[in-house]
Amino acid sequence: MVENPLGVANMKRITLVVAMIVLTLVVPSPAAAQNRYIVRTTGGLSSVLNLCNLLQCQVQGGLDGQVGQTFLVTGSNNLLANLVNGTVRLLESLLGIVSIEADRLLPIPQAPLPSIPSGLYDSAPVNYYGTIVWHGYADQPAAQIIRLQDTQNGFGIAGTGIVAVIDTGVDVNHPVLYPVMLQGYDFTRNQPGASEWLDVPGYQNGYVDTGAQNQQPGYVQQSTAAVLDQSTAAVLDGKDYTAFGHGTMTSGLIHLIAPRTKILPLKAFSSNGTGYLSNIVAALYYAVQHNANVVNMSFDLTSSSPSLNQAVTYANKAGVVLVAAAGNESTSAPVYPAALDGFVVGIASTSNYDTLSSFSNYGAVDVWIAAPGEDIVSTFPGGTYASASGTSFSSPMVAGTVALMLSAAEQPVNQSQAAKALANAQKLTPNLNNGRLNVYQAVASWVSTGSR
């Protein structure tokens, strides 16, 4: 039994005050299915337990690891819902409750169907930093545009440190990614590991298509073209798999830019492209507490979140660099976390002709710089490759660039230092802020000025 540190008299007073707060708000509607809430407190677990004793809710667990101030709470009544948009000031003074936020189910941004680039037909094997990859992946147009090879060869760097990827998971057995893959965590199941294959019935142990290089590329979902055998493609062609492979592709692009960097996969989204805000918050804290240097976030929220903002602040104070997709809504309206200026670098998408992608968000609110994001070729579950478009695939190129900066100067780089170096980009149009990523100029800037 958890002791009540507030005392019986205080608890009676709090019970009365909470009851008054609830009664002054909207009258509760009939009980519904389990609702989810993110509760932040300065009073630790005991204060949230006391809150739930009063409001008939259940504490499911902490979201911030060793910090002990952010918790997931569920309840079948609407008492907590009445407090989400109401005042929690009295609760803060009595219980230490700072905020109560409805947990949201968020989508991974969808982008237009890509064309099938020539890189998906270019399966010639090449040695890429100790692993055999397709030439169409290693030497794709995006890599040439951002001067990747010039940077790797000119500075003699291939990345270092750890980049955490908050996404749909990864193909942990992909031959290209396996050597740099850390175990990670699956927040959708609350267990170690982050395999995308767990979302596919009958493929829990993964699947490696040894004959993929002999197959013709084709569309396997609404936003991805991949090289797969027909039976696997048929399994993945459905609404439950619209985002399958997303995490493996973003991880593959980090590896393309910084092939010596370790990747920490954090599965916060399912293969259908949705994930709870609470899983994202938990993943961000996990990344910091498991020594990540950079976090890639290829997702966006249309409105701000107190719990996510707090997690971002926590990461910044720990010296972790945060990179986020600017979104695929073709708007200058703010999306989060990309719009958290000074705390996150938001990344737009450009074409292989150095123009703003038609689907990409734009404007200084969301965008720090842009990076190629059309018809990108990357790794895909099954030991194969795929092509997709979206700011989701621009963001990891920038995250990988920060990992290159780490290896160039052999010392930590924080958010403001990374942003300053990345701003040395190829100027394009004002709605792309500092311009399009130039990896060579970013690293050169960091080596010459930022690391001193």
How many residues does this entry show for the chain? 452
Question: What is the residue-wise DSSP string for 96-152?
Answer: -EEEEEE--EEEPPP-PPPP--GGGT---EEEETTEEEEHHHHT-HHHHHTTHHHHH
Please give the Cα distance from 14 to 55 (Å, whole number): 11
237 is an active site residue: no
209 is an active site residue: yes
The CA-atom distances, in angstroms, between 207 and each of 35, 170, 233, 266 are 36, 12, 12, 20
Active-site entry in 103, 167, 195, 246: 246
Please give the Cα distance from 374 to 397 (Å, whole number): 13
Q: How far, rounded to the nearest angstrom, does the alpha carbon of residue 449 sit from its chain's CA centroid?
A: 29
Active-site entry in 64, 209, 366, 375: 209
Residue with tokens 């240097």: 293
366 is an active site residue: no
Give the amino acid at 10: N
| In contact, 394 and 254? CB cutoff 8 Å | no
Residue with tokens 């008299």: 9
Question: What is the residue-wise DSSP string for 350-388?
Answer: E-TTSSB-TT---STTT-SEEEE-SSEEEEETTTEEEEE
Q: Can you say whether the dihedral through the CA atoms of 76, 303, 246, 218 is positive or negative? A: positive
Q: What is the signed CA dihedral for 151, 154, 155, 160, rounded to 10 degrees?
A: 40
Q: Which of 404, 403, 284, 398 is nearest to 345 (CA)?
A: 398
Please give the Cα distance from 415 to 315 (Å, whole number): 9
Q: Which of 350, 290, 287 is nearest to 322 (CA)?
A: 287
Active-site entry in 195, 270, 392, 445: 392
| In contact, 221 and 236? CB cutoff 8 Å | yes
Active site residues: 209, 246, 392
